Structure 1
């Protein structure tokens, strides 16, 4: 089996070898071939504080070539999810138009309460209405106002993405990988494609501030990469390392390349899924 360094370096080198504008334009101009799908729906799921909302902001930053921050984030949530609602974000590409893929943000996994796994499984099937307030004490039931009894193909999730912080994967409570694995198996039964992104790579490996591409040579990150692969069972070529835009005041090509690499794979997997339907 190829090592993480060889595998992911090859992915990024391929991306960088192509015309950067061409990849950027592909993401902006993508439209699902299946006429029943208005927008490709990508659901983000993972522990609280992993960077799900920050990833949405980072994607929009790449598309608009400027720092964006529509999805609310909080650096002082102290283990509690800042995102409380089931919320879908259209990615603005300028001129009052949007990309043909959307990100759905969810409440994060917490050590004690957090999101109900059954709510996430219902979301995968399209049964959760926009704006649903996640309740740690009660899961969504059929007949509730926020329950969508007749989901369209656009309401359903087309790609599931696990978002995990590289700097704290080894200190996550024991039940969190089990919960993510549970959701992964449910998605697999629905044949929904799955990927994973490791965020906060700069906090897990020092020295990346000057050259983000060095992440593929970091032994510590390789260990985190392998650990996530073993815990979730996500194939290695479906796990991406990403540095979100959190402290930068301008975008840059190196960070954009890694984010674009992940988005392009999500779009390709989602397109295959809806075409098979």
Structure 2
């Protein structure tokens, strides 16, 4: 389940069979957190408006379900509540996913940076409307809520439109990911909507070897300053009442990578 670098620059090789699906799901669903972080690992999803944060949480919840039953508890699409404005959490076993407003939803970049810093530190109460929230870096006014402290961050990008993001917005993102890095919080990038690159669904088994996707990751790594080895894809397109095996594996593979890295770090600081 680890990653290695091939001659063509592909880092990830998730095995697309039921045995690996069961292994990944069982490991994640039976995971016991280190003592220092309570009963949950908190994972924040952070991205631009419409990048697929809420949809990705639904995908994770569905992939973690023992039967892979599609779960749509997070509002998305045409739902009037799909434009996330509040900080909300969704729990599955020992994993808790935090949904947030788009980082480009706030006009003032300094305010966005401060809000992110407070969320990471666990100083923003669950249910807070982030559009009207006035950040205050004084810990006395917004004390740490231990069960809300963030252990990992997933930066979400619509992989089909990354080259359309302006330099100014990408510079703002670099500042955001620097804030996360300075707090020694594990972070990865997830590319959503990769189907729009024209990758046939039958090729999902070799998704990371697909040249157009590799080029997108190369561009994204250059513009964000993040390592390509920390970049993954997740499909948020489902059919019927169950999420397909390959799409489950793509989602669980990311989470397995995150949990292993977070667990390793947390145990060094216990």
Q: Work out whether the TM-score is over 0.5.
A: yes
Check 1:238–1:144 CA distance in 2 against 1; reply closer, same or farther (3 A cut). closer
**Structure 1: where are the runs of 5+ without partners?**
92-98
Question: What is the aligned counterpart of 2:258 among 266, 269, 276?
Answer: 266
Q: Secondary structure at the match of 2:57?
A: helix
* Residue 206 (1) aligns with residue 198 (2): yes
The match for 2:74 is 71
* Residue 167 (1) aligns with residue 167 (2): no
The match for 1:94 is none
> Do the aligned partners of 1:81 and 1:108 also contact (CA within 8 Å) in 2?
no
> Do the aligned partners of 1:167 and 1:201 also contact (CA within 8 Å) in 2?
yes
Check 1:176–1:191 CA distance in 2 against 1; reply closer, same or farther (3 A cut). same
The match for 1:183 is 176
Shift of 1:8: 3.4
Check 1:70–1:5 CA distance in 2 against 1; reply closer, same or farther (3 A cut). farther
The count of aligned residue pairs is 262
Distance, in Å, in 2 between the alignment partners of 1:111 and 1:103 is: 20
* Residue 134 (1) aligns with residue 127 (2): no
Shift of 1:185: 1.1
Check 1:81–1:160 CA distance in 2 against 1; reply closer, same or farther (3 A cut). same
Superimposed CA distance per residue, residues 36-86 of structure 1 (whole angstroms, 9 cap, x where no aligned partner): 422000011111111111111001111221111011112599xx9711001
Aligned-residue Cα RMSD (Å) equals: 2.9
Check 1:246–1:107 CA distance in 2 against 1; reply closer, same or farther (3 A cut). farther
Check 1:90–1:17 CA distance in 2 against 1; reply closer, same or farther (3 A cut). closer
The match for 2:100 is 106
Distance, in Å, in 1 between the alignment partners of 2:139 and 2:82 is: 23
Task: Within 5 Å, give how 1:208-247 maps onto structure 2.
Answer: 208-246=200-238
Shift of 1:142: 5.3
Shift of 1:125: 1.1
Distance, in Å, in 2 between the alignment partners of 1:112 and 1:148 is: 20
Check 1:111–1:86 CA distance in 2 against 1; reply closer, same or farther (3 A cut). closer
Shift of 1:222: 1.4
Q: Secondary structure at the match of 1:102?
A: strand
Distance, in Å, in 2 between the alignment partners of 1:113 and 1:21 is: 44
What is the TM-score with the length of structure 1 in the denominator? 0.84
Distance, in Å, in 2 between the alignment partners of 1:139 and 1:116 is: 10
Distance, in Å, in 1 between the alignment partners of 2:35 and 2:50 is: 34
Q: Secondary structure at the match of 1:12?
A: coil
Shift of 1:268: 1.1
